Amino acid sequence: MQVPLIRLQCGVNSYDWGKVGKASAAARFAAASETDDFSIEEEKPYAELWMGTHPKMPSKDMKTQRSLVDLVQDNHALMSTEITSKYGGKLPFLFKVLSIEKVLSIQAHPNKKLAEQLHAKDPKNYPDDNHKPEMTIAITPFEGLCGFRPLPEIAHFLQSIPPLRRLVGEDKAKSFEEVASEAKDDGAGKKALREAFTSLMNGAADSLASASKELVALAESQGSQFAGGGGSSNEGQELADLVTRLNGEFPGDIGLFVLFFLNFVKLEPGEAMFLQADDIHAYISGDIIECMASSDNVVRAGFTPKFKDVSTLTSMLTYSYGSIEEQKMEPAPYAHVVLNAKAYSSNSSATLYDPPIEEFSVIKTELKKSEAKATFDPIAGPSIIICTSGEGTVSVGPKQETVKPGYVFFVGATAECVIESTGEDPLIAFQAFCELGSKSQL
Ligand SMILES: [Zn+2]
């Protein structure tokens, strides 16, 4: 029988928000698959490395060049029969590395029901009938816009940024402020937010052009006093810089105004956040590990040359609001692993990022010294492992493979997997997996 440890060759796509040439971690990792037909072009943007069975860019067995989809469909034990039948013979998750140079579109991902409707109506723009909750773990410092700000903060910006108030409209701005100042009732808060945001998104194109010119001029002239000195944390200068920078990437875009409705989030390497279906977000910069339910459905409304669907976006959102701390995840030590003494003495760790959905969880393993070793208990479902730095080995039973940055492996269900560091630099690996029935929340 084949040992369920398969080195994968993974494709990278070239959306124009990606980091350029070798600066892109996604490109460097794709190049690590060492095939002759891929070399990094110096001036080309590389955005996303895809690891999984999604039909748009399925990974392959590097040795045989067989598609991972075929492999798991031929041998149901690789994913477990339960997962194979529940997810139609495909991996439940899609695992990615994103390298972001320019802001990605303002977007949300539909829930299951809406995904089915959109896909039936418009399969070209909505290629999947599946939902797409997603989790982001920073591997370099990350910036993004995620979720709606607390209402008083948005009210503060409506008062301190005249062109923003104009686009929203005086009536809507006023009634929003009334609710924001007293909103104890979540329903009223969401309704007011929906009305103000929808009004902004439907603002006429000609008023957007003049409003954005005015906004950029304010950002350039007011510095730290911009936006009334900022929101809750005196971020006036930071917001001024952000408006100037994003206007350079998408001149006059509605996104320049949307950013005053959304939390501006920064993640340090290892920090993570989880986005439910229908949560609004726009990633701005950084390299990240992303894991999502296997789907490619995106509803976009700004910062993009692609298809925009403003009415779907404004009607699908949950309009939950609150501080970003509520969206950040709290990773915990992963319990089902044994670290050897050498690993313990060097502060090595295995950390679990566990979102409240069934399709995936991610473990980050960091082995800080040569010979530090992590032995994982068998997992009852499939895993994909990518190394992002350091050197070492990965083994399942008698089979051992070298590990370097960008090396990706599929590990079959119930295999006992061992990762060992052999270099002087810390070995860091991320492992996405699915195990049915293991989550108490479900
Ligand atoms: Zn997204």
265-296 per-position pLDDT tens digit:
999 999 999 998 888 999 999 999 999 988 88
What is the 97 CA–ligand 1 centroid distance (Å)? Answer: 13
Quick one: 250 and 336 in the same domain? no
Q: Which amino acid is at 243?
A: V
28-51 per-position pLDDT tens digit:
999 998 666 788 999 999 999 999
Tell which of 260, 283, 318 closes a domain: 260
Diameter of the chain measured on Cα atoms: 71
Is residue 134 annotated as involved in ligand binding? yes
The pTM of this model reads 0.92
* pLDDT tops 80 at residue 398: yes
What is the 70 CA–ligand 1 centroid distance (Å)? Answer: 28
209-240 per-position pLDDT tens digit:
999 999 999 999 999 999 988 776 668 999 99
- The residue-averaged pLDDT of 57-61 equals 94
Tally helices (H) and strands (E) across the chain. 14, 25
Average pLDDT, the chain: 92
Structure tokens at 225: 């006093």
Tell which of 226, 244, 260 closes a domain: 260
**Residue 280 lies inside a defined structural domain of this protein:** no
357-379 per-position pLDDT tens digit:
999 999 999 999 889 999 999 99
Tell which of 235, 260, 285 closes a domain: 260
Quick one: 247 and 342 in the same domain? no
What is the 148 CA–ligand 1 centroid distance (Å)? Answer: 15
- The residue-averaged pLDDT of 103-118 equals 91
What is the 62 CA–ligand 1 centroid distance (Å)? Answer: 29
Q: What's residue 133's pLDDT?
A: 87
Q: Supply the CATH number for residue 341's domain.
A: 2.60.120.10
Is residue 107 annotated as involved in ligand binding? yes
Is residue 435 annotated as involved in ligand binding? no
**Residue 66 lies inside a defined structural domain of this protein:** no
Tell me which residues are annotated as active site: 300
Sheet architecture: strand order including 383-389: 60-61, 5-9, 408-411, 383-389, 427-433, 361-367, 349-353, 332-333
**Residue 37 lies inside a defined structural domain of this protein:** no
What is the 162 CA–ligand 1 centroid distance (Å)? Answer: 30
Helix ranges restricted to H, 183-327 = 186-201, 205-222, 226-229, 236-249, 255-258, 310-316
Q: What's residue 442's pLDDT?
A: 40
Chain-centroid distance of CA 347 in Å reads: 27
Q: How many domains does the chain have?
A: 2
Is residue 131 annotated as involved in ligand binding? no
Structural domain harbouring 338: 332-433
Q: Supply the CATH number for residue 221's domain.
A: 1.10.441.10
Quick one: 170 and 251 in the same domain? yes
**Residue 309 lies inside a defined structural domain of this protein:** no
